[in-house]
Structures are given as C-alpha cells and as structure tokens.
C-alpha cells in the first residue's frame, strides 16, 4: 500500500541543516493500522507529512498505491491526495463553518454537487456519531467531538489511507480511547489503512497491528506490536514501553530474593528468573510443570498480565529454588514452550 525507500529530509534551519529523516525504509500493508512512535523531535511529524508530500523529501521515494508521489505533476498529486486523508492534533476545523459544512468542505473544493455532498456527509456524520450535532459550530462542541469532525472530514473523499498526526494528544485518556476505537472501526468497517504517529505506547497498544520506533530520524525497531512489546531490542523501545511494561523490577524484589536465599537447603540453589510470554504460551500451565515434574519451589515476586488485540501477554519474576540441574531443566522447558527467560541472578 505504502512503500518508503531510503527516505531523507533535511530542513534548512537558522543554525544550518537539520537532518530530520535519515534513510527510512518501511512498508505499510493494505488494511493494517501502522503506528510510528518516538520521542519529541524524533522525526514523526516529518515522516507522516512526507506520506502525502506536505513535506517534500530531500531524497528517496514515497510510493502510495503503486505510484511514486515525487514523480507526479501538481494535478496528479492533487488527485492522489484524495486517496490519503489526514487527521491533525489540533483538529484544524474552520470556526465559521458548522460541523456539517466542515465535513463538506473538501467535497465543495472538489466541485461536487450539493445533493451529492449531502448524501456523502450524512452517513459520515452517523459513522462518527455526530449526526445530532450537524448544525453546531466548532466552538460549541467538545475536543473529542471536534476530532470526530476531523475524522469525518478526512473520510469525505473516500480515501484508502488515513494519516493521523498525534490525533489524540490533546485529549483526555477516556476520549483518547473512544477516538482510537473510532479509528479502529474506520479501519475494520471501511477497510481504510491507518498510519498514525504518537509518542504514547498506550496508543500503539490499543490500536496498532505493527509499529515502527523512530529515533534521531532513523527507524530503531519495527515489528508486530505484540513482538515489540514482548521482545524489545533497543534501549529507546524499552524506555517507551516502560510506561506499560516496567523494564526494571522494583527494589522490594531484591530484598525478597535475599530473604529467600537465606532459607535455601543444602544442595539447593536459588535463581531469580524473569519470564515473558505472549499468545499461546500464555495459556500453557507453565509453572505447574516446574513444581510437579521438577520438584522446584517457586515464589512469584512480581508480575503483570495484559492484552494486545485479544492476545494475552505477561511477565513474571519468579524465584526458583531446587537442585541446580533441575533449575537448568526448567529453563530449557520454559524456552521450549515459547516463554522468554531472563536469568537475573
């Protein structure tokens, strides 16, 4: 659907060139929700604005629906942009126009007849749940409702792709959830491919199928959301997911490990293990085997369990005590069952 090849973007800043994007390669598949996450200044907005050439890249290619956007004439580009809707953080609504007329605007600009516009806009307002507010002005509706208008407007030209530039950053957590649910509905029911940028892993967790982590204008890591959450490779990714899956164990765990190690019997060793599991491995009776078959003592010291798009994932910090060979066998057994095991100490 979207293919970015070796994309670079350099701004001419007051203090010299700023290399905002450096050799980005990525592919967004048709029908998916693709998230791009990074800290402030990482290059997210620069990247998403390259996808419809609101920013003109300094190098590389942007191919959308098989067409290289950089090669298109102005007229062709205007037509291609109708396939790419965009939603903005600050909504960008016209205050002098009603909700209905804001959604109708791109259709008026495209020269569509009035009755046709009505036929197009009315179901869109129903889709976003604003049909009862069609005659209100932006100043008379809430932030979440404004973003619903923004989404309906972006869908007016029946785009194949919807770009979302921090669409929920100005909203409270509950409204954020409802707007993300709406974007998911647009994706599922209308088959629109969604590319969204955000600085919050919570947003990625709720809605994205795949994610790219961007840092210093480069892609640091990319993969399915469940993969990236359970097996983060880069420090930047670990720090971003820390808000959802803490990477460090609390200090109380060390104290507890110390206490437990004092109680070890002769011939026993103790080992603190961090287990991460996702999908199928989450449903296996992973710990009971270690207790029953290997005769280990297990103390669960810390843990959490969560869900990403109907897939369970979790992490546990477990203190295992028993014969050394049996602990080794336990680690092998866990790994064979798809559980990631980190031997802490």
Ligand X SMILES: Nc1ncnc2c1ncn2[C@@H]1O[C@H](COP(=O)(O)OP(=O)(O)OP(=O)(O)O)[C@@H](O)[C@H]1O
Here the tokens at position 336 are 């064979």
Residues 163-202 that bind ligand X (CB under 6 A): 199
Tokens 């609101």, residue?
A: 54
Here the tokens at position 272 are 């603190």
Distance in Å, CB of 144 to ligand X, minimum: 21
Distance in Å, CB of 342 to ligand X, minimum: 31
Residue 196's beta-bridge partner residues? 35, 164
CB of 42 or CB of 241, closer to ligand X: 42
CB of 14 or CB of 267, closer to ligand X: 14
Distance in Å, CB of 127 to ligand X, minimum: 28
CB of 13 or CB of 111, closer to ligand X: 13
Q: How many Å apart are CA 32 and CA 208, to the nearest integer?
A: 8
CB of 48 or CB of 127, closer to ligand X: 48
Contact in structure between 56 and 71 (CB atoms under 8 Å): no
Q: Does 51 bind ligand X (CB under 6 A)?
A: no
CB of 136 or CB of 199, closer to ligand X: 199
Q: How many Å apart are CA 281 and CA 277, to the nearest integer?
A: 6
CB of 82 or CB of 199, closer to ligand X: 199
Distance in Å, CB of 199 to ligand X, minimum: 5
Distance in Å, CB of 220 to ligand X, minimum: 13
Distance in Å, CB of 153 to ligand X, minimum: 22
Contact in structure between 219 and 184 (CB atoms under 8 Å): no
Distance in Å, CB of 170 to ligand X, minimum: 13
Contact in structure between 151 and 168 (CB atoms under 8 Å): no
Residues 198-217 that bind ligand X (CB under 6 A): 199
CB of 40 or CB of 115, closer to ligand X: 40
Residues 62-91 that bind ligand X (CB under 6 A): none
Distance in Å, CB of 49 to ligand X, minimum: 8
Residues 6 or more apart in contact with residue 229 via CB below 8 angstroms: 205, 241, 244, 245, 278, 308, 313
CB of 147 or CB of 276, closer to ligand X: 147
Distance in Å, CB of 169 to ligand X, minimum: 8
Q: How many Å apart are CA 72 and CA 70, to the nearest integer?
A: 6
Angle at 15 between CA 14 and CA 19, to 5 degrees: 95
Binding-site string for ligand X from residue 274 to residue 313, where x marks contact by CB under 6 A and - marks none: ----------------------------------------
- CA dist 205 to 181, 307, 313, Å? 12, 9, 12
**At 76, which helix (H) or strand (E)?**
helix 74-81
Number of residues that bind ligand X (CB under 6 A): 13
Contact in structure between 89 and 164 (CB atoms under 8 Å): no
Sheet of strand 2-13, all strands in order from the earlier edge strand to the far edge: 16-28, 2-13, 59-64, 67-68
Q: How many Å apart are CA 294 and CA 303, to the nearest integer?
A: 22
Contacts 24+ apart (CB under 8 A), 104-107: 104/156, 105/153, 105/156, 106/153, 106/156, 106/157, 107/156, 107/157
Binding-site string for ligand X from residue 9 to residue 48, where x marks contact by CB under 6 A and - marks none: --x-x----x-x-----------------x-xxxxxxx--
CB of 214 or CB of 241, closer to ligand X: 214
Binding residues (CB under 6 A) for ligand X: these are 11, 13, 18, 20, 38, 40-46, 199
């Amino acid at each position: 659907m979207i293919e970015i090849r070796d994309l670079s973007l350099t701004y001419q800043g007051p203090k010299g060139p700023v290399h905002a994007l450096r050799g980005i390669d990525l592919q967004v598949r048709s029908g998916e929700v693709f998230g791009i996450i990074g800290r402030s200044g990482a290059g997210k907005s620069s990247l998403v604005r390259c996808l419809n050439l609101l920013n003109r890249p300094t190098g590389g290619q942007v191919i959308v629906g098989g067409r290289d956007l950089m090669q298109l004439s102005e007229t062709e580009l205007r037509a291609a942009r109708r396939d790419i809707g965009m939603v903005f953080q600050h909504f960008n609504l016209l205050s002098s126009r009603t909700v209905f007329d804001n959604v109708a605007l791109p259709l008026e600009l495209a020269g569509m007849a009035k009755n046709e516009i009505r036929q197009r806009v009315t179901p869109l307002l129903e889709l976003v749940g604003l049909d009862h507010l069609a005659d209100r002005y932006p100043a008379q509706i809430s932030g979440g409702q404004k973003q619903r208008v923004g989404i309906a407007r972006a869908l007016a030209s029946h785009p194949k792709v919807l770009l979302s530039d921090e669409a929920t950053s100005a909203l409270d957590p509950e409204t954020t959830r409802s707007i993300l649910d709406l974007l998911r509905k647009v994706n599922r029911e209308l088959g629109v491919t969604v590319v969204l940028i955000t600085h919050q892993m919570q947003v990625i967790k709720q809605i994205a199928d795949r994610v790219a982590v961007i840092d210093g204008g480069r892609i640091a890591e990319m993969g399915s959301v469940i993969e990236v959450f359970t097996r983060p490779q880069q420090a930047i990714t670990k720090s971003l997911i820390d808000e959802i899956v803490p990477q460090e164990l609390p200090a109380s765990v060390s104290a507890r490990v110390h206490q437990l190690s004092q109680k070890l019997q002769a011939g026993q060793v103790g080992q603190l293990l961090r287990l991460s599991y996702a999908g199928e491995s989450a449903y296996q009776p992973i710990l009971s085997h270690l207790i029953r078959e290997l005769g280990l003592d297990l103390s669960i010291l810390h843990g959490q369990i969560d869900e990403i798009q109907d897939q369970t994932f979790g992490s546990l910090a477990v203190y295992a005590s028993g014969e050394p060979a049996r602990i080794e066998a336990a680690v092998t057994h866990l790994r064979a069952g798809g559980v990631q095991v980190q031997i802490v100490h």
